[in-house]
Amino acid sequence: METIRIKDDFIKLGQALKLAGLVESGVDAKIVIQDGLVKVNGEIDTRRGKKLVNGDIIEFDGNQIKIEG
């Protein structure tokens, strides 16, 4: 499982996918999120602006990313 370290209290889901290198652009992030291909803490989430905080786990395309802040 990969880890993303954040400086602020939260990071938005679309930004986290880009930072982790799982998508190339914000447009790509928007598409995969709206298509229901991304899980946050085991549940499908279709909100690109979903705020992720310390301990949250993103799942996409066989990858798991943990948020640490």
**36-47 residue pLDDT tens:** 999 999 999 999
Q: What pLDDT does residue 2 have? A: 92
Categorize the per-residue pLDDT at 53 as very low, low, confident or very high, splitting at 50, 70 and 90. Answer: very high
β-partners of residue 23 are none
Report how many domains make up the chain: 1
**14-33 residue pLDDT tens:** 999 999 999 999 999 999 99
- Two tokens at 60? 């996409």
Q: What pLDDT does residue 65 have? A: 97
Q: What pLDDT does residue 66 have? A: 98
Task: Give me the sheet containing 43-44, strands edge to edge.
Answer: 2-5, 63-68, 57-60, 38-40, 43-44
Q: Which domain holds residue 43?
A: 2-68
Q: What is the pTM of this model?
A: 0.93
3-state secondary structure of 16: helix
Residue 27 is part of a domain; what is its CATH number? 3.10.290.10
